[in-house]
Amino acid sequence: MLSLFVLSFWRAKGFELIPDFTLANYEKAVVSKLYRTLLVRTVLVGFVTAAIVVPIAFALSYAMRFVFERRGQLILQLVLLSLFSGYLVRIYAWRTILGKQGLLNSTLQWLGLINEPLEFLIYSNIAVVITLSGLLLPLAVLPIYSALLNVSRDQMEAARDLGAGRVHLIRTILLPLAMPGVRTAFAFAFLLAAGDFVTPTLVGGTQSLLIGNIIADQFRGIGSNWPLGAALAFVTIAIVLVIYLAVVQILARVTR
């Protein structure tokens, strides 16, 4: 990590790396139109994915903890199992669901809700977001569920007894007590989505490449440029971090 950081100030000349202290790479990363577009798209995709994944993971964890109770543990095992089924396999699974003749389109057509297959379901930014959400959901459930294990049924009942309806219960009791887990889940989803470069190539269109793809290119094959790749990576991390901290602040404010 540190060596990568040092590397980001070097120069690349042909296939050689030349030690230096230059901000040229960073300048390129920020000024270049292409990189800027990709950065913005990446951060947006990451943020939207996290914003979709975390509430769903919260709802799932809530159900596992308080609706299914003991059977919640069983569901947890299934969630863990799904994580072992492999990343690529799961991306391909989403392809068969979202594809033009995929599960979703054929079902909707069969139901008569649409006449033509929905084109935007595959090879688009939406496809990337949906697939990433599906991939990251189990990972987000884990920290939230374990945080909810610390909330006792008595505490929930006490809040209701004192007059809290569902919304208040979540806002004043569940969210604050589950906040460490929610933060972790948000960080997982945001960082991993923003750093992904496999999903865009498999389900994304020409307009949905992410910064991860460019960064990966900088580290392999012809035309690679390690220092530039490192600089791009650090800019991405910095932006993600700033947004993450802002979100944490806002969440803390809302649930006070």
Partner 1 sequence: MTNAAVEIMGVRKSFGSMTALEDVDLTVADNEFVSLLGASGCGKSTLLRIVAGFEYPTSGKVRVYGEDVTTRPPERRPTNLVFQRGALFPHMNVYDNIAYSLKLKKWSKKRIDDKVEEMLALVRLEHLGGRGPTELSGGQAQRVALARALAGEPKVLLLDEPMSALDLKLRQQMQLELRAIQRRLEATFVFVTHDQTEALVMSDRIAIMNRGRIVQVGTPQDIYRRPANVFVSDFIGQTNLLRGTVQSIQGGVATLDVVGTRLTVATVTGVSVGARAALSIRPEAVRVSRQESLPEGRGVEGRISEIIYLGSSIRVGAVLADGTTVWADLRDEEAEGLAVGDLVKLVWAPAAPTLLLGDNE
Site of interaction with partner 1 (CB under 8 A): 152, 154-155, 157-165, 168, 172-173, 176-177
What letter does residue 10 receive in the DSSP assignment?
S
Nearer to partner 1, 13 or 166 (CB): 166
The Cα 200–Cα 179 span in angstroms is 31
Distance CA 45, CA 69 (A): 34
Token pair in block for residue 216: 């990966």
Question: Of 144 and 215, which has the nearer Cβ to partner 1?
Answer: 144
Minimum CB–partner distance for residue 255 and partner 1 (Å): 9
Using the minimum distance from each CB to partner 1, give the nearer residue, 11 or 168: 168
Give the chain's length. 256
Distance of alpha carbon 208 from alpha carbon 3, whole angstroms: 30
Q: How far is the CB of 177 from partner 1 (least distance, A)?
A: 6
- 3-state SS class at 218: helix
Q: Choose between 119 and 157: whose C-beta lies nearer to partner 1.
A: 157
- Cβ burial of 220 (10 Å; 0-12, 13-18, 19+) is exposed
Structure tokens at 175: 């969210």
Can you read off the two tokens belonging to residue 95? 């392809």
Token readout for 56 is 């769903």
Nearer to partner 1, 59 or 158 (CB): 158
For residue 157, the minimal CB distance to partner 1 (Å) is 6
Select 201 or 255, whichever has its Cβ closest to partner 1: 255
**The 3-state secondary structure of 121-154, one letter per residue:** HCCCHHHHHHHHHHHHHHHHHHHHHHHHCCCCHH
Site of tokens 């949905």: 208
